Structure 1
Amino acid sequence: MSSTIVFVHAHPDDEASATSGTMTRASQLGHRVVCVYATGGDHGTAPDDLGERSLADLRREEAEASAVVTGTQRLVWLGYSDSGMYGWEQNDAPDALWQADVAVAGRALADVLDAENADVVVGYDWHGGYGHPDHIMVHRITRYAVEVAARRPRYLETTMNRDRMRSLYALAVEAGMMSADQVWDIDAPMDDGNPMGTPESDLHWDVDIAPFIEAKRAALACHASQPDAAGMLQMPPAAFAIAFGHEFYREPARAPGMVAGWPF
């Protein structure tokens, strides 16, 4: 039975790094996949060959290319400006997502859910994975939209498995893949004072996207103007598959315990 699944992301490229494997699998299984972007990513990195286009225009083109890869059938833009990283002066811009009225932005998202008669909506965890202001706002907006939508959809949150990241880092060090100056404390506080991701004990779904790992690489390649995406693509294929071959979700309405399986 097919469903309509709406993924809500802060910026173009977030869908590629966080949920593109799940999106590809869902679309190939016949589900309708919709992606909502809260901002245009206008405070990303402008490439040297940008030309006369704005960065937001370029990133919209990249999002459209990524949608072809993942089989996403509709893109929606809420129209807010990128707030930049935590503490940047862009946080205070009047049109920045960080300054948005949650009720207004949430109602706009709920209108999308209603128009799509959405079965499922996927947002972010409470601190947006790593404390980015726009990611935190996506969490708040999505939670609000779920509450006010005419037909309340099932609600999930994409996040990172902190325990798995710690284990993979330890394996990389043991294998000599990390140099002495590449120390990474997985549990160190990010800009908002919280560690990256979510403990495995708080997760509900482990989605194995190994069969769709090339689609994930291809989706990231659509956003190669951005250093984060380009950096991920520098990883050897085998290492990339290990690092990004699983996508993790919370589902607050479920009982505790992570299930390795398909949530849809």
Structure 2
Amino acid sequence: MRRFQHRRNVKGKPMATRRLLISYAHPDDESFGLGGLIARYVAEGVEVYLICATNGECGTVSPEHLNGYSSVAELRLAELDCAAEKLGLKRVYKLGYRDSGMMGSETSLHPDCLWQADQAEVTRRVVEVMREVRPQVVITFNRYGGYGHPDHIAIQRATTTAFSAAGSPEYDTGQEPYRPQKLYYSGIDSGFLRFAITIMKLRGKDPRRLGRNADIDLQAVLDNVEPVHARVRVRDYYEAWDEASNCHASQLGGGAPRLPLFLRKLLSPYQGFTRVFPAPPANRVDEYDLFAGVTADEAELDRVR
């Protein structure tokens, strides 16, 4: 095994490509959540792939945004295509499950929604993508699903199971087994979250009732934050982050107002991640690059020779 070199070697021979797979639930998750990270790694030559598990049809949309679209799902997927182009994603895998809506809602009981889907089936579809893409690094939601959304939890469970299953010869999909080297859960900056909760309270707003439908509980999000082991600097990529987020125009209303750009760069110059595999030696930050320690085997190098 060899450690990755991010440039050509001294003889000018091409090195293996770094590949990142993000496994998320809805159109807009990739931009609102990881736009800065994606923009940075694409700029550094990493191939970034995205799984979007649902069509996002339960997102609240104002009528004016539906002009020219036959459904909310069609609109949301078009917004995803816009963001994917802005961010430079290599490919988006749209699994096509129905959006479940929030936990306990009637929509979360729909037989076609992701929350009600057979977990083994979802896992298999994620395994198939992993074996096709062969990413060294995989990112999905934390165990609480970010803010407790059932679709986030469902795709997190499927991706975590698929991470191990993809490398097993006994798990047959008709593809060559392949296990990625690192698995991360997207982290949440607890300090920034506490700051946001404080500001909301000072402004007379309830942090347990955030969003257009007042169904996001920031205090519960804070209570379920997991340790951060990796911090990736994204300060220089906020402009690209915003450009991708603006593609999801139908979903921008109703949340907390966006802070000025200079203030966001000052308060949150990094994005944090929980390292699930390999298990970290301690609950502290010890990485500043998700590809740290990633290696390429001879078979991988043969593909680019």
TM above 0.5, yes or no, is yes
| 2:263 paired with 1:248 | no
Aligned partner of 1:225 in structure 2 is 250
Paired amino acid for 1:22 = L
Residue 14 (1) aligns with residue 29 (2): yes
Q: TM-score, normalised by structure 1?
A: 0.87
Match of 1:125 among 142, 149, 156: 142
Deviates more, 1:52-61 or 1:190-199: 190-199
**SS of residue paired to 2:146:** coil
1:158 corresponds to which residue?
186
Distance apart, 1:94 and its partner CA: 0.6
Root-mean-square deviation (Å) = 2.6
Query: Which of 252, 259, 262 is the equivalent residue of 2:286?
Result: 259
Deviation at 1:137, TM superposition (A): 0.6
How many matched pairs? 255
For the residues of structure 1 that align with 2:265 and 2:151, how far apart are their CA atoms?
28
- Taking a change above 3 Å as real, the CA distance of residues 152 and 197 of structure 1, as seen in their structure-2 partners, is farther
* Cα shift at 1:111: 0.3
1:24 is aligned to: 39
Contact 1:221–1:233 (CA under 8 A) maintained in structure 2: no
Classify the secondary structure of the residue corresponding to 1:104. helix
For 2:36, give the aligned amino acid.
Answer: G
Consecutive unaligned residues in structure 1, runs of 5 or more: none
8 Å contact from structure 1 (residues 200, 258) kept in 2: no
Q: Is contact 1:63–1:223 with CA below 8 Å preserved after alignment?
A: yes
Q: Which amino acid aligns with 1:240?
A: R
Runs of 4+ in 1 over 4 A off after TM superposition: 167-170, 190-194, 197-201, 230-234
Match of 1:79 among 78, 96, 107: 96
Q: Normalised by the size of structure 2, how large is the TM-score?
A: 0.76
Gaps spanning 5+ residues in structure 2: where?
1-5, 7-16, 167-176, 210-214, 292-305
Q: How does 1:35-184 map to 2 (within 5 A)?
A: 35-49=50-64, 50-51=66-67, 52-149=69-166, 150-153=177-180, 154-167=182-195, 169-170=197-198, 172=199, 179-182=202-205, 184=207
Post-superposition shift, 1:243? Answer: 5.3
Q: Quote how far apart the aligned CAs of 1:259 are.
A: 3.3
